[in-house]
């Protein structure tokens, strides 16, 4: 995946990086292992290219700022603060493009994801703060500790869907909106 300064990396390049990291780990790697592999892979590039990955990473974090996905994170992790939701979206990025896009379109689809099923059975949280710092860590590793250059862009987070403005502790509403996830977590509470 070579890039020139004239052709900065985009979201497609982030997905290629995620795919390459996951493929290099084999099986069903943990989100933290994927993040670490992404740092190693990205760190093999020139600093200017590494720094340019900051924007498309932030675009993925911003596009996944959705109320329905926040509700799913709330069910999966037994709650989701602002930071917890951000770390959940980091985990989601490590799962690859197909899972990410499916979850954006239908947050309840996460009920069939093997990691979510396993997390429900083990009462584990699904978060990955490390992936949110992949660019920063790879840049520091490559430059010997330098900070990323100042940003020349601003990422705008979308407004949350007002149709999802309800208390996520409202079980009846959550069952209506996320029936498969709620059923999965009900099953695990019963065992």
What string of H, E and C letters represents the secondary structure of 100-144? HHHHHHCHHHHHHCHHHHHHHHHCCCCCCCHHHHHHHHHHHHHHC
Residues 66-91 have pLDDT tens digits of 999 999 999 999 999 999 999 999 99
What are the b/e assignments for 140-153, b being 16+ CB within 10 Å? bebeeeeebeeeee
Please report the pLDDT score of residue 26 as a whole number: 86
* pLDDT mean by block of 10 residues, the chain; 191 residues: 63 97 93 98 95 94 97 97 97 98 98 97 96 96 88 85 93 97 82 50
Residues in the chain: 191
Please report the pLDDT score of residue 156 as a whole number: 86
Asked whether the whole model's pTM tops 0.75, one would answer: yes
Please report the pLDDT score of residue 30 as a whole number: 96
Please report the pLDDT score of residue 5 as a whole number: 47
On whether the CB atoms of residues 168 and 74 are closer than 8 A, the answer is: yes
Give the count of beta carbons closer than 10 Å to the beta carbon of residue 161: 11
Please report the pLDDT score of residue 1 as a whole number: 47
Please, which contacts does 81-85 make with residues 24 or more away whose CB atoms are closer than 8 Å? 84/125, 84/127
């Amino acid at each position: 995946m070579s890039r020139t300064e004239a052709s900065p990396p985009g979201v497609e390049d982030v997905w290629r990086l995620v795919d390459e990291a996951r493929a290099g780990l084999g099986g069903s790697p943990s989100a933290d292992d994927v993040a670490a592999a992404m740092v190693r892979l990205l760190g093999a590039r020139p600093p200017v290219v590494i720094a340019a990955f900051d924007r498309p990473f932030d675009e993925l974090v911003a596009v996944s700022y959705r109320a329905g996905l926040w509700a799913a994170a709330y069910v999966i992790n037994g709650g989701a603060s602002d930071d917890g939701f951000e770390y959940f979206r980091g985990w989601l990025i490590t799962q690859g493009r197909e899972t990410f896009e499916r979850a954006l379109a239908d947050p309840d689809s996460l009920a069939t994801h093997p990691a979510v099923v396993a997390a429900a059975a083990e009462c584990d949280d699904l978060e990955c703060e490390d992936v949110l710092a992949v660019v920063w860590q790879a840049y520091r590793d490559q430059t010997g500790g330098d900070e990323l250059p100042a940003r020349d862009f601003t990422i705008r987070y979308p407004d949350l869907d007002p149709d999802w403005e309800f208390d996520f502790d409202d079980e009846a509403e959550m069952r209506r909106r996320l029936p498969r996830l709620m059923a999965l977590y009900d099953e695990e509470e019963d065992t």
